[in-house]
């Protein structure tokens, strides 16, 4: 029987097992998916004794796992973070998850002006997705200016796209704004990015717990189109399954049934 897992610290609240077990149920596969608590100090021994057929990687190991791997795919190498491992090789499927979520919600990124709120790992994966989508411009807004500058430099080194750091007051009605901070995540559900929301903007959150953040609720009342983080989460998981099974598992499953399972676990 094939065995898969997600590793992280903490890991108890991960929804990855619910997602993947629903995939296996739908496809009638005799496969297991566990969550494994791996602390930073035990990452080395976990890798050396690993017998899994593949695993997802979450906080805080997305960067620190890289020296333990045999290689990286192009996206993981460029982004500098790994959330999926197969046969000792690291992949990044967060950027694929974001693009799929945009596609599912009818958002065409080509030529758009985009603002990323945050400058951490998710922000970089999403910046990579925006570069692949030929957006017109990317603005980075982040509480620590140095981290924003680092991400701006990274985008400049990896594309010809116009990029800057700015305050959100300058965003226009065409802007797609993506929240890549934990602002609004359970249990601190009242916090939100400080941004003046305008009618016609598209607001995408990476947070999926709660399903609709206070920021997205506020955006809806002001006429913005809003997209929660659950579609991205599901799509990054399915992209991992595609890598592990070497076939397009993602095209065979019923998305609505996965959503139903995950929504029942969330507040
Ligand atoms: N839906 C999905 O599939 C998916 C996938 C990956 C991540 N995510 C979500 O994306 C979010 C970010 O994850 P990450 O891996 O990028 O984390 P990370 O690397 O730790 O980066 C966090 C970013 O948020 C900023 N930040 C943290 N606390 C803040 C606060 N109180 N106010 C304003 N900014 C704050 C940080 O600013 P500094 O630069 O000052 O530290 C940093 O830019 C999380 O909510 C995570 O759950 C979702």
Write down the residue that tokens 């973070």 correspond to. 81
Verify whether ligand 1 is closer than 6 Å to residue 121 (CB atom): yes
On whether the pTM is more than 0.75, the answer is: yes
pLDDT of residue 194: 87
Mutation pick for ligand 1 pocket among 143, 168, 205, 235 (CB with most ligand atoms within 8 Å): 143
pLDDT of residue 228: 98
113-167 pLDDT tens trace: 999 999 999 999 999 999 999 999 999 999 999 999 999 999 999 999 999 887 6
- Give CA–CA dist 76/69, Å, rounded: 12
Residue 178's beta-bridge partner residues? 116, 204
195: confidence class by pLDDT, cuts 50, 70, 90? confident
Helix 94-104 / helix 230-245 crossing angle, nearest 10 deg: 120
25-84 pLDDT tens trace: 999 999 999 999 999 999 999 999 999 999 999 999 999 999 999 999 999 999 999 999
Q: Does residue 173 surpass a pLDDT of 60?
A: no
pLDDT of residue 170: 57
Which of 144, 152, 100, 97 shows the shortest CA–CA distance to 122? 97
Verify whether ligand 1 is closer than 6 Å to residue 120 (CB atom): yes
Least confident range of 8-12, 83-87, 191-195, 240-244: 191-195
229-251 pLDDT tens trace: 999 999 999 999 999 999 999 99
Verify whether ligand 1 is closer than 6 Å to residue 17 (CB atom): no
Other Cβ atoms closer than 10 A to 102: 25
Which atom of ligand 1 is closest in space to residue 146's alpha carbon? 39
Q: Is 24:51 a contact under the CB 8 Å cutoff?
A: no
Which of 265, 155, 135 shows the shortest CA–CA distance to 204? 135
- Give CA–CA dist 90/179, Å, rounded: 25
Q: Which residue minimizes the CA distance to atom 38 of ligand 1?
A: 144
- Give CA–CA dist 207/134, Å, rounded: 24
Q: Is 192:185 a contact under the CB 8 Å cutoff?
A: no
In sequence order, the 6+-apart residues with CB closer than 8 A to the CB of 90 are 57, 65, 66, 69, 71, 72, 73, 76, 82, 84
Ordered domains of the chain (ranges, CATH): 2-92+231-265 (3.40.50.10860), 96-228 (3.40.50.720)
């Amino acid at each position: 029987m094939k065995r898969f897992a997600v590793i992280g610290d903490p890991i108890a609240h991960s929804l990855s097992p619910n997602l993947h077990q629903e995939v296996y149920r739908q496809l009638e596969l005799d496969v297991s998916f566990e969550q494994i608590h791996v602390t930073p100090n035990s990452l080395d021994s976990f890798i050396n004794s690993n017998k899994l057929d593949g695993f997802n990687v979450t906080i805080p190991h997305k960067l620190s796992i890289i020296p333990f791997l045999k290689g990286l795919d192009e996206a993981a190498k460029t982004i500098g973070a790994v959330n999926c491992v197969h046969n000792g090789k690291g992949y990044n499927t967060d950027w694929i998850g974001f693009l799929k979520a945009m596609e599912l919600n009818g958002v065409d990124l080509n030529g758009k002006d985009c603002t990323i709120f945050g400058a951490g790992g998710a922000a970089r994966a999403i910046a990579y997705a925006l570069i692949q989508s030929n957006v017109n411009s990317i603005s980075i807004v982040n509480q620590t200016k140095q981290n924003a500058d680092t991400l701006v430099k990274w985008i400049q080194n990896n594309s010809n796209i116009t990029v800057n750091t700015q305050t959100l007051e300058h965003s226009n009605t065409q802007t797609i704004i993506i929240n890549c901070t934990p602002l609004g995540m359970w249990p601190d559900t009242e916090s939100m990015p400080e941004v003046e929301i305008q009618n016609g903007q598209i607001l995408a959150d990476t947070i999926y717990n709660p399903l609709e953040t206070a920021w997205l609720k506020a955006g809806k009342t002001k006429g913005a189109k809003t997209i929660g983080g659950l579609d991205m989460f599901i799509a990054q998981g399915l992209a991992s399954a595609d890598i592990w099974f070497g076939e397009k598992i993602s095209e065979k499953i019923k998305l609505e049934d996965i959503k139903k399972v995950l929504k029942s676990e969330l507040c």
